[in-house]
Structure 1
Amino acid sequence: MEKQKLAIPKGYRKTRQREAILKVLEQAEYPINAEQIFMELRNRGIDISLSTVYRNLEMLTKEGLVVKSYMMNEDKARFALPDKKNYLVCEKCGKIVIIDNCPFDKFKEELIEVHGFEITGHSIEVYGVCPECQKK
């Protein structure tokens, strides 16, 4: 899968904090919430407030560099780079596995044709039980 270029969009200042947020998301194995991003930035010695993390995530989401999603039974949004927006979630242990080959791409054209929607984005979240939990 081709890596997304992590660049701050035109019209926005390129700040150390924005670049650091994108770096955390790039290195995250799966979608994470704003508090997790905040704690990781603090652990890396970056001086930032939680409200600044939220403001930047909102801008990065609006510009399409970050994808925002909600997991079932969670009240906090999770954030990821677009190449990590589709995933499997184990209902027992909470393990998250990224789906590399998005099945939606084949289905998208049918949705456009049948329903006439202009598709602007998507994320897929599939729930089940992982192989390790099945063995228990």
Structure 2
Amino acid sequence: VDAVRARAIERDLRRSRRFAAVVQRMFAPERPGLTALASPATTVCRCEGIPRSDVDGFLEANRHADTVDAVKLSCRTGMGPCQGRYCETTVAGAVAAARGGTVSDAGRFAAQLPVKPVSLQTYADLFDAD
């Protein structure tokens, strides 16, 4: 019975993952279009309150900066609680547009610990499990 249930769960997981992949492909945002729509007043990084004008100003003043990490170090994008989960692709789009490259060329933010915010209660529960 356990093996039968495990196979059913694995089958359901595979089906769910296939469905999720289709949804992600169908509803993926048009990043270049969103980047082009951003005005200088558009907030790029919600956590740190960084407007597009700060990112563009940094890129204009620093012609050698061609990665999202360079922008992060100067403008603080990606340093908030979400660790860049929401602004990384927007910053990469701005770098790509400014440098004539691609979003992939701009790179990704370097991961910092914690990789994902974890509540203190979660940590406390680890010690209570003993």
The TM-score, its normalising length taken from structure 1, stands at 0.31
Structure that is richer in strand per residue: 1
**Between Structure 1 and Structure 2, which shows a larger proportion of helix residues?**
2
